[in-house]
Amino acid sequence: MIHIDSIPKLKQGVKFRFDRARDAWILLAPERLFMPDEVAVEVLKRVDGVRNVTAIVDELAAAFNAPREEIESDVLGMLEDLSRKGAVSA
C-alpha cells in the first residue's frame, strides 16, 4: 500500500527510460511494457527511492502551479496502480 509517507522506488528489474524508437518514455518490467502518459512521466521522473510521496507531490504542485490536494490524489492513485502491477514498491 502506497501512502503519503512512502518512499516509492522502481522494483528490481524495472527500468524507466526514454525510448528513441518509440519517441516516448517507457517503463520496462520483466515481460511487460508500460507507456506512461505525460502526467505519469513527471511523477516517474521523481521516483528515485529517496523522495517520499509528500516531496514528489510538493515538487509537482510547485512546478505546475496546481492544487496540491488534487496532485496528491492523482500521484497516490497512480503509484498504487503501478504497485499492484508489480512495477513500483514502497
Q: Tell me the pLDDT tens digit for each residue of 21-77.
A: 999 999 999 999 999 999 999 999 999 999 999 999 999 999 999 999 999 999 999
Contact yes or no for 33/26 (Cβ under 8 A): yes
pLDDT for res 39: 93
For the chain, give every domain's residue range: 9-85
Instruction: Give the CATH H-level superfamily of domain 9-85.
Output: Coenzyme PQQ synthesis protein D (PqqD) (1.10.10.1150)
Which of 56, 89, 55, 57 shows the shortest CA–CA distance to 72?
Answer: 57
0.95 surpassed by pTM:
no
- Locate cell 509537482: which residue? 60
* DSSP H or E run through 69: helix 68-84
